[in-house]
Structure 1
Amino acid sequence: MWTLKYYNCECCGSDFVSCKALKYHFQQKHFGKVHYEKFGQEVLREKLQDHSKSLHDRSAMETQKLNWENLEERNIKHMAAEISKTCRMCSRHFGTILSREKHEIQEHHFTARKRAQMSTGFSPHNMLECKSPQELQRFADKNIRPASGHLSTACVAEIGALFKLIQDCFPVPASRVIQGGSYIKGTDTQGCSEIDIVLFSDVFANVNDCKKQLREALDALRENLKHTSRGNRILMGKRAPLSLRFNFLCTEGLHNHSFEIMVCYDVLGHAPSTDLKHLYRKLYLCNDSDSAQLCALALLPYQVDFVKASVVRVKELIRLMIHWFKTSFAKSTEENKFRRLPSSYTVELLTIHIWELAGKPLLFSLVQGMRAVLKLLVRYTEIDVVWHRHYHPKFPIFVKVNQKHTRPFILDPVNPTVNVCDTCNAWDEVALVARHSLLKPLFSRVRAEPPWLFTNNW
């Protein structure tokens, strides 16, 4: 069978069925023009100077308008948006996901066979080898659920002491401290958890001032922690631009806690309001990725509360899905070291969405829940999820983001400017592994039961 060959425009990512059509498009749209990097536009060479002047001469009133009709050209460089359209082999960035995928095929020979080899990697004794719901429950209780009793109490005490130690080692006074991560949300797994700590300080005059002093403050905190009594159990990670990362080993349970410490100016103040619209506008208008990420740190408590509000059974399902991601994919190699799978926060939100589709049952079969999540991952291009607990459906920023979004789409329930699915640039691999997982013994003979009958359409 003949396969249709596409010709891709390197300037804008558009695709054409013939070389002649591509040539005509280039002459009509791009010939004689240069790309003005600062504003993400193309202009005629002879008009470049005039164009630059006209852009800089816009009045202050016009600049304050939210330029709704040009959302995608605003160059709001959240880290997530940068990842979703990057090559998983060389990290080159593209205007569209389609042009990225064609680059991977042409430049890196990323065929379907190669994708299968580089994505699937089920670990030995994987939970998917369980034969029944009862066996899965026993597996989860033994290998995934965090320890309880004496070990849990000792762990809580150690983490509490480390929290205080971090604040004492911070080189400037902290006006407010907030915590997040799977440990705080109650979605951590046995043997490992994620703990995020944000230290706000009045020493910083604003976010830009914080950026200038950030590296010095984090380096000082790093050195101070090394010289404490717990320094021998702190394994520092690679230096990150905006945070300090390290693993902490609990003595009682002999398991790891993955810490990420972030520092920022408190954009919401000491007594945050429930009205976040002013922060949303600030994030929307921000054209610096680092500043946007620092401002968004103030939303961490709201993200934690959203996940913590789920019932215990949902958190069990979240743990299973996080464990699935950790044990079903091949490890990244030097060849595909830029591959990024969905973040744990994305997994949490997707699982909560599935639970809501089922009618929010208090008790349900974990096998049925896992099967529903995996079936939706196979159809990832249809994922379109929005919550309206912190922003109204008619809120202008949400309206424009929602109009121009690409799939998969899970809008952060507390931040209408961020699609959390954009942290992943390998959704095709996720779908492939999910498809193979559904063929494993755990699901081979499972049929949808109430309240999961909606999955029959998938």
Structure 2
Amino acid sequence: MGSWFSTACPMPVNSVSAQSLDQYIQTSLRPSDDCQRRIDAAVAAICAALQYSRELPTVTGVATGGSYGRKTILRGNSHGTLVVFVSDLGQFQDLKRKNQHEILNKIFKRLKDFQLEMQLEAKMEIKGSYGGLTIQLSTERQSVTLDVLPAFDAVALSDKPSLWTYRDLKGALDMTQARPGEFSVCFTKLQQNFFNYRPRKLKDLILLVKAWYQQCQEKLRDAPLLSWYALELLAVYAWEQGCGAKQFDLVGGVRTVLELIKRPEELCVYWTVNYSFEDVTVRNVILRQIRSPRPVILDPTDPTNNVAKDKTCWQLLKEEAQLWLSSPSLKESPGPSWNVLPTPLHETPGHRLDAFIKSFLQPNQTFLEQVNSAVDIICTFFKEQCFRHSTTKVQKCVKGGSTSKGTALKTGSDADIVLFINSLRSYASQKNERSNVVKEIRKELKAFQRREARRQKFQVKFEVSKWNARRVLSFSLKSKELSDGVDFNVLPAYDALGQVQAGFRPPPRVYTELISVYKSSNIGGEFSTCFTELQRNFVVSKPTKLKDLIRLMKHWYKQCARKLKGKGSLPPKYALELLTIYAWEHGSGALDFDTAEGFQTVLELVTRYQQLCVFWTVNYNFENEVVKDLLLTQIRNTRPVILDPADPTGDVGGGNRWCWHLLAQEADEWLSSSLCFKDGTGAPVPLWKVPPMQTPGSCGVNIHPIVNEMFSLRIHGILP
């Protein structure tokens, strides 16, 4: 390579202002479009020459790997691999057993002939020795060095390897005593696919992190080197877990990756996109890796390959990461880091679950104060400014959702506001007139938005309603006083309860009227917003530790939802919340309990979803005949049945409505493989004894013995 271009970044990455990061990437880190095009054309020609050569009939395919193959090369000097799949290498162990010198010689000769035959847009240099073969492609401002590696094609034409592929990999490693990860080159096509569908912005984040690490290397010349691949995968993990959007704030991404680098002792990152826990052999390989000393970052294409091995380098990088985080360019820029956990819940031992919840799931005081401040702003607006020129008035403004119940996670700033409107005088009027009220609120909020924009105090951003019926208005509120925006869902409702005091129990007429409307529409839970205060009070009254267990269950649910996306509609989180309360009430009831036991019990109940029949009699019961008839009908429905304790028409278990079987499969997998259900000595934690089904008789209800016997027979599976 000539000396007519520089590989160094023009200025330190950690001195670039947040506002200039995008421009910096474009002008200093990304290869120019022309250079990239010319090198890509040369690589494509080389691949074709190798794959379709008469002199190399044994070549079955060619793939590009490394930074070049992942499309994450930096401007200047970069590296990659050119992986040549050869039929002579028909299994993993052939990479150790067969002499590849002859294969490389044939490739070298073909490349030399090709060099004479073709006039490429990039300068090409071929360097061969007994130890290897490299190709260097150069333009005026870019150079890429490709290591040529013969390999066994582990996936052939398939986009996803079979279970046998990884069983064979494990067997080959044992047979040849090869190093873990030594055969990773065979999965180059899978590595390409893993990065191919990532957005350009994520690859820009990767370039920033790599440029920073390159500058760290210059500063720490004698330190052991960390794999580029490890940092690339860490950036992908941070984005997947904390953002997932095509467009995002680069500062938040950088902060998140640096925060993860600061915690190498906890880092455990892996994917199950190509391999999973399904097969016992593969599961044992994965578990052995992810339970080894941290940091662990598993290659998503090769479960034997931990790409984050060198602890010394990570310790040095911790200090450099803190320097960038403390630099004015990041410290003074707005926008928080994403909430990404360095350690997965799955690999957290049972005796560490309380610390896991405290460190990663409980919102901090700043978050709570921020949400409360935003709620006060919006509630004040609704009470004092909204509907000023209308006969419509807000009777009361009630905060709902997880923030009001004390079960909010650290990962979001959501608030549900239920507005009880004087014009909504019945369940029917709520159903018929709610959309008009939403339109009126939207109009008033837009006026509020314009006024505050002039004062430069608040910003209101409207989102499209998630319901076609327009029964909710979704928007976000931002202000200089809030470090992060708060998302709101505003729901107008009929004030069916009136003034709700401590210990309040609705009169029977509230529910008889509700049931009358329900019978005409048969839509359960349609008016659950009317009972927001009862829903809130039901959870608020529970012990703090139970609310933490609910947080843990919601975090588990979010992980399942991400994994199962597109496979079917999961039951609502509220169902899992209620199931957790039920498990605690019937299995423990103590203010202080073992979190691992509670977690395990709830998952066990999820696996028994086809038996679940759960209800409460705190707000309604069997005394009123109308309510009694509805309850008996509800609890005879297809399992699972989980009745909203505030609304007897709301069955959040839903029978066959949701894909409980998907959630049950995940629960079963966790129960069999997660460390969460082992104590500090490695012994299994016990289950609480919780019946999956309640009967009216078990709640002290005096009904006909034959009816109660029928429910008992269903518990034992004697009746369907």
If the TM-score is normalised by the length of the shorter chain, which range does it land in?
0.5 to 0.7
Distance across 1 between alignment mates of 2:691 and 2:633: 31
What do residues 368-406 of structure 1 show as CA deviations (whole Å, max 9, x unaligned)?
211111111111112221211122334433343255222
**Could you say what secondary structure the match of 1:416 adopts?**
strand
Residue type of the partner of 1:280? Y
Distance across 1 between alignment mates of 2:593 and 2:477: 35
Q: Where does residue 349 of structure 2 map in the other structure?
A: 131
Specify whether residues 409 and 176 from structure 1 end up closer, same or farther in structure 2 by C-alpha distance, changes over 3 A only: same
Distance across 2 between alignment mates of 1:295 and 1:455: 31
Map 1:403-418 → 2, pairs under 5 A: 404-418=636-650
Residue 356 (structure 1) aligned to one of 585, 599, 604? 585
Q: Where does residue 156 of structure 1 map in the other structure?
A: 372
Distance across 1 between alignment mates of 2:582 and 2:430: 36
Could you tell me whether the CA contact under 8 Å between 2:418 and 2:529 is conserved in 1?
yes
1:447 aligns with 2:684: yes
Q: Where does residue 215 of structure 1 map in the other structure?
A: 435
What do residues 158-196 of structure 1 show as CA deviations (whole Å, max 9, x unaligned)?
322222124445333112222211111100010325422
Q: Where does residue 237 of structure 1 map in the other structure?
A: 464
Could you tell me whether the CA contact under 8 Å between 1:196 and 1:260 is conserved in 2?
yes
Could you tell me whether the CA contact under 8 Å between 1:351 and 1:373 is conserved in 2?
yes
Deviation, structure 1 residue 325: 0.6
Distance across 2 between alignment mates of 1:232 and 1:404: 50
1:398 aligns with 2:628: yes
Specify whether residues 155 and 341 from structure 1 end up closer, same or farther in structure 2 by C-alpha distance, changes over 3 A only: same
Specify whether residues 248 and 285 from structure 1 end up closer, same or farther in structure 2 by C-alpha distance, changes over 3 A only: same
Q: Where does residue 225 of structure 1 map in the other structure?
A: 445
**Could you say what secondary structure the match of 2:676 adopts?**
coil
Deviation, structure 1 residue 311: 0.2
Q: Where does residue 435 of structure 1 map in the other structure?
A: 668
Residue 516 (structure 2) aligned to one of 261, 277, 285? 285
Distance across 2 between alignment mates of 1:376 and 1:163: 39
Map 1:71-150 → 2, pairs under 5 A: 125-134=343-352, 136-148=353-365, 150=366
Residue type of the partner of 2:405? K
Specify whether residues 358 and 349 from structure 1 end up closer, same or farther in structure 2 by C-alpha distance, changes over 3 A only: same
Distance across 2 between alignment mates of 1:204 and 1:456: 41
**Could you say what secondary structure the match of 1:346 adopts?**
helix
**Bigger RCO (CA 8 Å, 6+ sep):** 1
Deviation, structure 1 residue 243: 1.4
Specify whether residues 138 and 367 from structure 1 end up closer, same or farther in structure 2 by C-alpha distance, changes over 3 A only: same
Residue 308 (structure 1) aligned to one of 532, 537, 540? 540
Could you tell me whether the CA contact under 8 Å between 1:128 and 1:441 is conserved in 2?
yes
**Could you say what secondary structure the match of 1:329 adopts?**
helix
Q: Where does residue 47 of structure 1 map in the other structure?
A: none
Deviation, structure 1 residue 432: 0.4
Map 1:161-172 → 2, pairs under 5 A: 161-168=377-384, 170-171=386-387, 172=392
Q: Which has the larger radius of gyration?
A: 2
Residue type of the partner of 1:182? S
Specify whether residues 269 and 311 from structure 1 end up closer, same or farther in structure 2 by C-alpha distance, changes over 3 A only: closer
Aligned residues: 332
Specify whether residues 216 and 291 from structure 1 end up closer, same or farther in structure 2 by C-alpha distance, changes over 3 A only: farther
Specify whether residues 238 and 275 from structure 1 end up closer, same or farther in structure 2 by C-alpha distance, changes over 3 A only: closer
**Could you say what secondary structure the match of 1:128 adopts?**
helix
**TM-score, scaled relative to structure 2:** 0.42
- Percent identity between the two aligned chains: 25
For structure 1, list consecutive stretches of 5 or more residues without a partner in the other structure.
Answer: 1-115, 117-122
Distance across 2 between alignment mates of 1:294 and 1:341: 19
- Root-mean-square deviation (CA, aligned residues, Å) is 3.4
Deviation, structure 1 residue 271: 6.9
Could you tell me whether the CA contact under 8 Å between 2:399 and 2:417 is conserved in 1?
yes
Distance across 2 between alignment mates of 1:403 and 1:130: 37
Could you tell me whether the CA contact under 8 Å between 1:169 and 1:225 is conserved in 2?
no
Residue 322 (structure 1) aligned to one of 554, 557, 572? 554
Distance across 1 between alignment mates of 2:442 and 2:558: 28
Distance across 2 between alignment mates of 1:253 and 1:313: 29
Specify whether residues 239 and 387 from structure 1 end up closer, same or farther in structure 2 by C-alpha distance, changes over 3 A only: closer
Could you tell me whether the CA contact under 8 Å between 2:607 and 2:665 is conserved in 1?
yes
Deviation, structure 1 residue 205: 4.9
